[in-house]
Structure 1
Amino acid sequence: MVIVDMLPQHWAEVKQIYLDGIATGQATFNTDAPSWEEWDKSHLPTCRFVALDGEKVCGWAALSPVSSRCVYQGVAEESVYIAQDCRGKGLGSQLLSHLILETEKAGFWTLQAGIFPENEASVKLHEKLGFRIVGTRERLAKHYGVWRDVYLLERRSTVVGMD
């Protein structure tokens, strides 16, 4: 497995992995994947990665801004998605670890994630890599007609933003 920068030509496979995540009902409030153009606009241009097994995209990670205000330039929301047939093999840990390392090189001091409490594997992965639950956003929104809570997790860098 090799982790490389995400390129537009990876989009078809990235989108399918995202759609598979949507189908679990535990990954996102979204009910469909956006177009490449919409996705590209809503994510930061830096720190976008795919995990490749040969030519096959097995997972991806990317950042979304939390605010347009300059004081939050070192804070981002991260997303990590793993293909169905690649789950349970440690790839999520590899991809999130890579994302953390690269975001610190890029000057990010805080990463946050919103995760459904029922997505125990994702919560455990994030906690293993230094994220902590800072709160529960209760009944944040309806998902297929049912109110859902979302854990807000964050990871504060131990090397960036320490001065």
Structure 2
Amino acid sequence: MTHIDHTINLDIRAVQREDLPAILTIYNQGIEDRIATLESETKDQSYIEAWFEEHQDRYTALIAQRHGTTVGWAAINRYSHRCAYDAVADLSIYVTRDARGTGVGSQLLASLEQVAQENKFRKIILFTFPFNYAGQGLYRKQGYRVVGTFEKQGVLDGKLIDVMIMEKVL
């Protein structure tokens, strides 16, 4: 699937193996910035290779490029291995530091939702930090609603962190 938005010169397509170094860089930025994930250690090539293998077929990943430069990626992740939740997906979305706030996230999320529907998902959930206001703004703009907050759900840099759950029925 390819989607081009000429207003921000963005090309969105399925991730290919050659995209992995750029995806790894962007993911590691998200880890370092401490605003998008409870992961605290940057990842390496073996990690991203395994991630790629898990994001084939129905659980897919998209990459956004502007003028040939990767500026973000998004993925449909398995929510649960229980068959009752087969139509529910979890999502990940990461945008490179210098492209945040430029519309990349909105375009990626819209494209990911389209692919999710094509892949027979009826609902997308996500986990975010209560202090990730930019992320929450993106999700709310796309119609996601807050379900609740897990208090002291994880640990990041030795501190207990709350995690907010949001969802959208497709």
Relative to the length of structure 1, the TM-score reads: 0.91
Alpha-carbon contact 1:60-1:82 (below 8 Å) kept: yes
Which residue in the other structure is 1:106 paired with? 119
- Structure 1: how far apart are the matches of 2:21 and 2:90? 22
Q: What is the correspondence of 1:1-16 to structure 2 with a 5 Å cutoff? A: 1-16=10-25
Q: Which moved more, 1:35-44 or 1:14-23?
A: 35-44
Which residue in the other structure is 1:33 paired with? 43
Question: Where do 5+ consecutive residues of structure 2 fail to align?
Answer: 1-9
Deviation at 1:141, TM superposition (A): 1.2
Could you report, residue by residue, the CA deviation over 1:80-129 in whole angstroms, capped at 9, with x for unpaired residues?
10011111111110110111111111110010100001100001110111
Deviation at 1:43, TM superposition (A): 4.2
Alpha-carbon contact 1:44-1:62 (below 8 Å) kept: no
Deviation at 1:71, TM superposition (A): 2.1
Deviation at 1:42, TM superposition (A): 4.8
Q: What is the correspondence of 1:108-147 to structure 2 with a 5 Å cutoff? A: 108-147=121-160
- Structure 1: how far apart are the matches of 2:43 and 2:139? 23
Alpha-carbon contact 1:49-1:62 (below 8 Å) kept: yes
3-state SS of paired residue (2:63): strand
3-state SS of paired residue (2:72): strand
Alpha-carbon contact 1:44-1:65 (below 8 Å) kept: no
Q: Which amino acid aligns with 1:33?
A: K
Which residue in the other structure is 1:20 paired with? 29
Which residue in the other structure is 2:63 paired with? 50
Relative to the length of structure 2, the TM-score reads: 0.87
- Structure 2: how far apart are the matches of 1:2 and 1:62? 16
Deviation at 1:33, TM superposition (A): 2.0
Q: Which amino acid aligns with 2:135?
A: S
Structure 1 vs Structure 2 CA RMSD: 1.4
Structure 1 runs (4+) greater than 4 angstroms displaced: 41-44
